[in-house]
Chains A and B, each alone.
Chain A
Amino acid sequence: MQDNREVLLEMKDIVKQYRMGDEVSTVLKGISLTVYRGEFVAVLGPSGSGKSTLMNIIGCLDTPTSGEYFLHGQKIADLSESELAHIRSREIGFIFQSFYLLKDQNALENVELPMIYAGASRRKCRERAKEMLKRVGLEDRMTHMPSQLSGGQQQRVAIARSIVNTPILLLADEPTGALDQATGKQVMEIFHELNEEGRTIIMITHDANIAAHARRIVRILDGNLYEGGETADA
C-alpha cells in the first residue's frame, strides 16, 4: 500500500541486550516499527515487556545492541554524544511518569530548560516558555515552585516543557501513571489537542484505557512488538 505520509521514525530489527555478570538478557528481540508524522501511537505492554527500554532508544537516551534506527531521516547510530543531545533538546519532547521537574526552579524556569540547552537567547526562552504555559492553562502559576503545584499541574508544566522547542516527536512514558482518573483525563485532553495540531505522539503505557485514547496501538510483550488496534488515516 502506497503511503503518502511522511515517515518520522523507522526502526529495523532493534535488539537490546544487557549483560549482568555472566548472563545476557535480551530485552528487545528484534523490533521493527514505523511511525508517520502526525500519528498518535500507544505502545501497550505490561511491566517487564521492554517498553521503557524501547522508549529510551526512541528518545536517543540509549543505543541498541543491533539494528537500525532512523529519526527524521537521520541514522541515529552515526551521531556523536553532543549531536544526540542536540536532538534531544530540539527534536524530541519528553514527558515522564513522575514529571521530573527541577524542584528548586519555578514553572517558568523549568519550561525554559530545553530552550536553554538548544542555545536560544534569554528573551526567546522567556517568551516561548510563557506561551507554552499559557497553552496548558497555567499562566497564573508561572512563578510557582513544583512543590506548590498539584500533580496534574506539574504534569502540565512537563508537557509545556516538552513542546517548548516545537519538537517533531513527543515521547510520553506513562503520563497519567501518577495522577488520579479525573486529572489523567485532563492530561489526555491536552494530548488530543496537541495531536490535532499535527504533533506526533508516542505514548508508553500499561493501561489499556489510556492506550485507547491513541489512534494506533502497538502491543509489546516480552521484547516483541505486535501491531494491534485500528490505524486511523492521518
Chain B
Amino acid sequence: MLNFAMLVQTFEMSIRNIRNNRMRSFLTMLGIIIGVGSVISLISIVGFATRSMLGQFSSMGAGSLQVNIYGTPVKEGLTDNELREISQIDNVLSVSPLITVNTSVVKDKTIYKKISVLGRNEQFFLRNGTIREGRALTIKDMSGNIPVCVIDEDAESVLFPNGNALGSGIRVGGIQYRIVGILHKEANYADDFAFEENRGKEGRVFIPYKNGMLMNGQNTMISAEVYTKDTSRINETVAAIEDYVKGQFNGAKDSFYIMNLSSILNAMDTVTTMMSALLGGIASIALLVGGIGIMNMMLVSVTERTREIGLRKALGAEPIVIQIQFLLESMILSLVGGNIGIVIGELISFIASKIIGVPFTVNIMAILIGFLFSVAVGAVFGWAPANRASKLNPIDALRAE
C-alpha cells in the first residue's frame, strides 16, 4: 500500500541507511563526485581560457585590422606617407598608428609605473570610446611638439582621485603635459581584462603619436590600426593592404602580419565549440563511470542486505516499496555526491581563474547540468539493483547468509 506517509517513511529510511553506512555510501558517491566535479571545472576552465585569449584581441572593434611590422634589415617600419597611402586603399576609412611609449607617468614626485603611455592620432578617438570631458586629440596636435594628452577614466581615478583632472598637468617622459580630455570607454567585457598594450591595468595616457615616437627614438611605425568602411569586404581589404605593404618591403612576406579580428574570432569560436564538445564527451564518460560505480555499489548493497530485504518483505513490504526504497537511496547518494562535486568543481575553477588571470564567474548552466545529470544517473543506474531487490523471494532471502 503506497501513500504519502509511506513515502516519507521510506525517504527517512533511505537517509538512515545512508548515514548508518558512511564508508559504503562515500565510496558509492566517489564516482559521481569526480564526474560532476570534472564537468564543472573543465567547462569553467575552457570558458576562462577563451575569455583570456579574447581579451587580448578586443582592443580592436569589428571591422578594424591591425598591421604589425617585424621589419627587414633595411626597413624597420612604415612611414607617415605609407600610412597615408594605406588610408587611401579602397574600403579603408582611416588609419591610426599604435605607439607604445617606454616611459612612466610622474605626478607630484610619484612615479606611476602601471599607467601605460600610448601614442595615437586623431583618427583613433573617432573609433574608440567617447570623450566624457574636454576634447580628443585633433590633427592640430599632431605636429610633434604639442604637449597635450587625453587620459582614460582608470588613469583619472588613480592620478586624480579627487577629480579636477581636466586642465591639470602630469609629467610624461620628463615633459610637462596638459590633460585636455577624459576618455570614456563603453563597457564591454574587454575592459576587465589585460589589454595587450595595457598589462598595467591602472589606466592609459594618450599622447600625439609623433611625441611618442620621439620619446622612443623611433622614426618609423611598427604597428597601426586600420579602420574599414564595409566589414563584409574585409577580406579583399586585407589582401589589398598585404599587397601594398609587401611591396614596400621589397616582397618580403614575413616582414609583417595583419590581424583581422573577425576571422580570429570566428576561428576561436570554432575551436571553442570543438573543445567544449570534446570536453563534454570526456566529462560524460566520467559521469558514466560514476554511474556504473553507483550501480556496482548498489548491487553490492542489495546482496549484503538480502536478509534485510527478505525480512522487510516478510513484515509486509510490497515489491514496489522495496524498489522505491533502494531507488531513493541511490538517487539521494548521487544527488549528495553531485552537490559535493559541484562545490569541488567551483573551487577548482576559482583557483584556475586566479591562475589564468580572469575574474571568477559562476557558470549557472554548468551547475544545473551537473545537478540534473547526477539525479538522472542515480535514477538510471540505481534502477536495476532496486528492481533486483524488489524481486527477491522472501524465504530464500531470509535464509541467506
Contacts and interface: CB of A to CB of B under 8 A. Distances in A.
Given A100-B398, A119-B6, A82 B308 contact: no
Interface stretch (A2-10, A29-37, A54-62): A54-62
B9 A122 contact: yes
Contact of A116 (B9, B17, B307, B313): B9
Contacts of A122: 5, 8-9
A102 to B, nearest CB: 6
B35 to A, nearest CB: 28
Nearest to A119: B1
A96 B307 CA distance: 13
Contacts of A109: 16
Given A88-B314, A102-B308, A102-B311, A62 B319 contact: no
A113 B12 CA distance: 12
Interface string A84-122: 011111100010100010101100010001101111111
Interface residues of A, number: 30
B316 A104 contact: no
A82 B314 contact: no
Given A56-B395, A90-B316, A117 B20 contact: no
Given A104-B16, A122-B8, A59 B3 contact: no
Tell me the interface secondary structure of chain B in the complex.
Answer: helix
A56 B312 CA distance: 15
Contacts of B9: 116, 122, 125
A61 B17 contact: no
Contact of A61 (B1, B20, B314): B314
Interface residues of B, number: 27
Contacts of A61: 313-314, 394-395
Interface string A62-92: 1000000000000000000110011111100
Contacts of A87: 316
Given A104-B16, A122-B8, A117 B321 contact: yes
A61 B320 CA distance: 17
Contacts of B321: 117
A38 B9 CA distance: 33
A119 to B, nearest CB: 4
Contacts of B2: 119
Given A113-B315, A119-B5, 18 more contacts: A56-B395, A61-B395, A85-B313, A85-B316, A85-B317, A88-B315, A88-B316, A89-B315, A89-B316, A89-B317, A100-B307, A100-B314, A104-B17, A117-B6, A117-B312, A117-B317, A119-B2, A122-B5
Instruction: Report the 5 A-B pairs with minimum CB-CB distance, sorted nearest first.
Output: A89-B316, A117-B316, A104-B20, A85-B318, A119-B1
30 contacts: A61-B313, A61-B394, A81-B318, A82-B1, A85-B313, A85-B316, A86-B316, A87-B316, A88-B313, A89-B315, A90-B316, A96-B398, A100-B307, A100-B311, A100-B314, A104-B16, A104-B17, A105-B16, A109-B16, A114-B315, A116-B6, A117-B1, A117-B312, A117-B321, A118-B1, A118-B316, A119-B2, A119-B3, A119-B6, A161-B315
